[in-house]
C-alpha cells in the first residue's frame, strides 16, 4: 500500500466510474494535513473544515468517508460503541492500535509489532490474506476513576458520549439502520448523476 495523493485518488475514482469532486479533494487534503496518529469522526471533520472556511455538508462527508474507506484510502476505526473515526490508511510500518477510555472516550495510540506478526501468522495458518490489523483496548482513565465512574462494562454498555446525547440502545439501532438506508440511496443517486455527467 502506498500513500494516496490527489492524482492517485483521482485515477482510482475515474477507474471506478466516479469523479474527483472538489468536496472529495477537500476531504482528502484535510486528512493529509492531520498530524500522524490523529483521526476524525464525520462530525469532527465537518467542524474541522468549517473552521477553515470550507463548506462541505455532513451528508456529503458521510458518503465520501464511506467511499474512501471502501477504496482503502481511509481506515475506519470504531473506537467507542457507535462512534466511528477515520484516518489515512498507511502501509504496514504505520499500523497501530488504540487504548480507549470507556467513560470519556480519550484515545491513545500504541504500536506493537508482535500483534501484527501474530495476526499475519494466524491469517496464513487459516489460508487467509491479512487486510488490516487493529486492536482496540478498552480502559478507564485516572480522571474517570477519580470521578467514581465504574471500571467494568455492564451488559447494556454504551459509551459516555452516546449517553450524554440521550441515545438509548433502540434509538441507536434505529438511527444506524436509517443511516445505512439513506447512504445506500444517496450512493445510488450520486452514481447515476456522475455517470450521466460523464455521458454528457
C-alpha grid cell, residue 133: 490489523
d(CA 133, CA 117) in angstroms, rounded, equals 10
C-alpha grid cell, residue 48: 474541522
Mean pLDDT by 10 residues, the chain (200 residues): 67 82 91 81 93 92 92 78 76 67 77 83 90 79 84 56 45 45 56 54
CATH node for 6-199: 1.10.10.10
The pLDDT assigned to 26 comes to 93
This model's pTM is above 0.75: no
Contact partners, residue 23, CB within 8 Å, separation at least 6: 56, 60, 64
- Write out the binding residues for Zn(2+): 101, 104, 141
- Write out the binding residues: 95, 101, 104, 141
Nearest by Cα to 102 from 146, 152, 140, 147: 140
Nearest by Cα to 179 from 49, 105, 83: 83
d(CA 33, CA 5) in angstroms, rounded, equals 12
- Write out the binding residues for Fe cation: 95
Contact partners, residue 188, CB within 8 Å, separation at least 6: none
Amino acid at each position: 500500500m502506498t500513500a494516496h495523493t490527489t492524482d492517485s485518488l483521482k485515477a482510482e475514482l475515474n477507474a471506478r466510474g466516479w469523479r474527483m469532486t472538489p468536496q472529495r479533494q477537500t476531504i482528502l487534503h484535510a486528512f493529509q494535513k492531520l498530524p500522524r496518529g490523529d483521526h476524525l469522526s464525520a462530525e469532527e471533520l465537518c467542524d474541522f473544515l468549517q473552521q477553515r472556511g470550507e463548506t462541505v455538508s455532513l451528508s456529503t462527508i458521510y458518503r465520501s468517508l464511506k467511499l474512501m474507506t471502501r477504496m482503502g484510502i481511509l481506515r475506519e476505526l470504531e473506537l467507542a460503541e457507535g462512534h466511528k473515526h477515520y484516518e489515512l490508511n498507511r502501509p504496514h510500518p504505520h499500523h497501530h492500535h488504540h487504548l480507549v477510555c470507556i467513560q470519556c472516550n480519550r484515545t491513545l495510540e500504541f504500536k506493537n509489532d508482535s500483534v501484527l506478526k501474530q495476526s499475519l501468522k494466524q491469517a496464513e495458518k487459516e489460508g487467509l490474506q491479512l487486510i488490516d490489523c487493529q486492536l482496540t483496548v478498552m480502559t478507564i482513565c485516572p480522571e474517570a476513576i477519580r470521578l467514581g465512574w465504574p471500571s467494568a462494562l455492564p451488559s447494556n454498555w454504551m459509551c459516555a458520549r452516546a449517553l450524554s446525547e440521550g441515545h438509548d440502545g433502540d434509538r441507536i439501532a434505529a438511527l444506524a439502520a436509517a443511516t445505512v438506508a439513506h447512504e445506500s440511496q444517496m450512493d445510488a443517486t450520486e452514481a447515476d448523476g456522475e455517470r450521466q455527467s460523464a455521458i454528457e
